[in-house]
Amino acid sequence: MSLIYKGQNLFIDNTSIKSVVKKNITPFYVYSYKKMRANYQTFSSYFKKVKPLICFSVKSNSNVSLIKELGRLGSGADVVSEGELMKALKAKIKPSKIVFSGVGKTETELKVAIQKRVLLINIESESEARLIDKLSRKMKRTTSIGIRINPGVDANTLSKISTGKIDSKFGLPKSNFLRFCRNFGKYKNLKIKAVSVHIGSQIRSVDPYRKTLNVLSKIIKSSPINFEYIDLGGGFGIPYQNNEKKIDIKNYSKLVNKFKKELNCKIIFEPGRFIVGNAGTLISKIVFIKKNGNKSFIILDAGMNDFMRPALYNAKHDIVPVLKLKKKINGKVEFVGPICESTDTFVKYKNFSLLNENDLVAITNVGAYGSSLSSNYNTRPLAAEVIVKKGKIKIIRRRQKISEII
């Protein structure tokens, strides 16, 4: 997390949150460039021996300015829609560093990806391969593809974000994968360049990755195709609360080093949350404080439309006051949003720093799957997004106007 108190006041890097609030209407997202850069460089350093192509997962945060900043650091992009592809290109990411993933790409999306000559289209079914071959033939192109394999590995994460088990909708089962490889000669306008795998998200144990590498090693050795790339996906978890542990990336990197040496291939990663998760904060104002029974409800102007993860995944994100007081609210405290849903709740505490109506709070670690999951539910405008870089405050998405959504 990039937040720190100086005295009673909350800062992001060396910039006070109060100074950011002066230029923005709450709620709004604020990102630390310093933290995002450090996360990217940390990830790169762990895998420096394999020299991977790092393709930032655009679905985790699709702000063009952030993608552009990561591109300057050397990142490519992993995209899952035409919209994300166009954002990556707008951010000056070269097509040769873009991987197009996703289980249900439309014909229109595939045409754009073929026309733009992205590095890889990761296919998830034989039907998709047939369609890409047909479109490539019509467009007089040879298209490079990766084959996503379903390794049948439990990622030991939330079921809603587990994607590597045999009963999930993702990838080709091992038997289908081998059959596809043996019969690949019939696809005249395709070139298999990669094997792709992605077993889930918010994974904080190395063990599922170890199992996945073992599955990949065996099946690649059984395949008649020499793959140039192995796309190992992402899913690297981060701690959202103080009692949660980090994934041991250093240990995983040792396994990947051995894997690459054994198979003599290039490695692709698709990190998202690991890069931007703890670089983002959602600043919100307290609208009302009300007491029902023995509980105080802190009603914020940010809701599940602005930040969906707690409602969607029951995710817990710590909330801290922008002005920290020594006095406490005694008893149960629940932070909630203004949306007409009982699921519009953020986090509960037994005691909390004294708060008043119109005070500001910071919802922490929201850089991934925050703004990218936001919506206009209840006809509420999308929040602004701001980046703090070298002491300068820059709006990278202005707050939406009501007139733009009615």
In terms of Cα–Cα distance, which of 239, 211, 229 is closest to 270? 229
Residue 55 annotated among the catalytic residues of the structure: no
CA 127 remoteness from chain centre? 28
Instruction: Count CB atoms within 10 A of the CB of residue 42.
Output: 12
H helices present in 139-293, as ranges = 174-182, 207-222, 249-263, 273-276
Distance between first and last Cα of the chain: 37
Instruction: Give Cα separations from 160 to 100, 116, 155, 314, 315 (angstroms).
Output: 22, 32, 11, 11, 12
Structural contact between residues 64 and 72, judged by C-beta atoms closer than 8 angstroms? no
Instruction: Give Cα separations from 29 to 26, 186, 279, 281, 367 (angstroms).
Output: 9, 50, 10, 6, 8
Q: Which one of 55, 181, 265, 340 is the catalytic residue?
A: 340
Instruction: Count CB atoms within 10 A of the CB of residue 224.
Output: 9
Structural contact between residues 29 and 366, judged by C-beta atoms closer than 8 angstroms? yes
**DSSP letter string over 8-50?**
TEEEETTEEHHHHHTTSPSSEEEEEHHHHHHHHHHHHHHTTTT
Residues labelled catalytic: 340
